[in-house]
Amino acid sequence: MKSYDWIVVGGGITGAAVSYELAKKGFTVLLLEKYPTLKGATRYSYAILPYWSSTTDLTNQLFQEAKERYHCLSEELETSTQFRELDLLLTIALKDDPEKIAATFNHYNTIPHLISVQEACEMEPLLNKEAIAGALTVRNGHVSPEATTLAYSQAFTRLGGQIEIAEVTGLVKTGDNATPRYHERITGVYTTGKTHHAANVVICAGGISRHFLKSVGIHTRIYFTHAEMLEIPPTDLQLHTNVMPAVQERFQCEATTSTAEFEQMWDEPGHEFVPFSLDAGAIQFNNGCIRIGQISRVLTDPHAKIDPVQSEVAMRSEIGKILPALEHLTATWHHCLIAYSADNLPLIGAIPNQEGIHIFSGFSSPFAFVPPLAKRFANYIVGENDEIIKQLSPHRFV
């Protein structure tokens, strides 16, 4: 019976990057992914790299490492990530005072530049000048989420890593009914019809991580929103910038709903803590497709049913105010879960009181933070001291 050094659960950007970095260290690694084609938050991501938005020494260091990493990552992985830099426009609503909105960005490492309506429309001719009071602009990094994840996965298999398409249904534990839970050890995972054994398991399952871990009796302070977006197939219409609202409600929803007072309710299906938020933004990828959205719903049931018709109407209406040319283009509605934590930083490392299991999830900016942190995680596993990985440990919430 084959046993691996590591089993990685989840084949999105987090799982693919962690698998690659662990395999680079010489570990035998099995990556398990439920779907044969990319789905979930990785597939429907904007894949923006907001280097400018750091507010602490820790996030500033990670953003700088990410920027350096992406400049050489395609060469290292031998496949293009479609890395590029482009202008971001943060639109300011008519009801808001541009100077006051600009002041809220003064604590960022790179302060976006306040520009007039006319200047914004010169940068992005598709903007509706009657719908905004101004805008902020700054340079962003950007990659293709599909290309980047595929690049990591292919590089992983070239190193001898194995990928299997299978749904993980449970964890293999040592001990018996008399063994205290904190003396148990995770020694593998169950999939439909199979058991895989490993010295360590790392959960990289994004928004479903909390639900999965709860199903096997493990509590973590990780949460999720139901995110919705529309994808327009490749079009000749050209966006010159990435457009997002300057005031994004999603982050306020996350901060409000990850406090200790809601913790017990998170494990009960059927709760919706706050009304849904809609942040009207749009980004065009190299192949010409455009993703617009997004709606964020804080629903405690990961399998909650959502009416795509009403959501599409709402998203089209809001994006139509800012970018009228996009409102009526053919598009497909998509839905996924997005993970977040109680302090807007990811959870990385061993799960408290349970040997053999780790987590690598909860990223607010996954395509920026995952490459440097996956590398740091693998270095930490082989004994390198890393104060950043220690700071991101799930133990901080115990």
124 and 258 housed in the same domain: yes
Strand partners, 138: 88
- How many angstroms separate the CA atoms of 113 and 101, rounded? 11
pLDDT confidence of residue 168: 97
Question: Which tens digits make up the pLDDT trace of 358-373?
Answer: 999 999 889 999 999 9
- Helix (H, G, I), strand (E, B), or coil: what is residue 304? coil
Q: What is the mean pLDDT of the chain?
A: 94
Encode pLDDT of 73-115 as tens digits. 999 999 999 999 999 999 999 999 999 999 999 999 999 999 9
Based on the domain organization, do 230 and 313 belong to the same domain?
A: yes
Which two tokens mark 64? 């700088």
Q: What is the DSSP letter of 398?
A: -
Q: Is residue 193 left, alpha or beta, with left meaning phi > 0 and alpha meaning psi from -120 to 50?
A: left
List C-alpha distances in Å: 33 to 97, 155, 157, 347: 47, 16, 14, 20
Neighbours of 249 (CB within 10 A): 15
Of residues 204, 346, 340, the one with CA closest to residue 212? 204
Q: Count of domains in the chain? A: 2
Phi, psi dihedral angles at 46 (to 5 degrees): -75, -20
- Among left, alpha and beta (phi > 0; psi -120 to 50; other), residue 383 is left
pLDDT digit string (tens) for 9-28? Answer: 999 999 999 999 999 999 99
Same domain, 187 and 67: yes
- Asked whether the predicted pLDDT for residue 298 surpasses 50, the reply is yes
Same domain, 77 and 31: yes
Residue 287 CA to residue 136 CA, distance in Å, equals: 26
Whether 127 and 245 have beta carbons less than 8 Å apart is answered as no
Say yes or no: 55 and 158 in one domain: yes
pLDDT over 80 (residue 251): yes
Q: In terms of domains, do 26 and 14 share one?
A: yes
pTM of the model: 0.94
- Say if residue 118 is in the same domain as residue 189: no
Residue 178 confidence (pLDDT) above 60: no
The rounded distance, in Å, linking the Cα atoms of 53 and 112 is: 9
- The boundaries of the domain holding residue 15 are 3-81+145-221+343-397
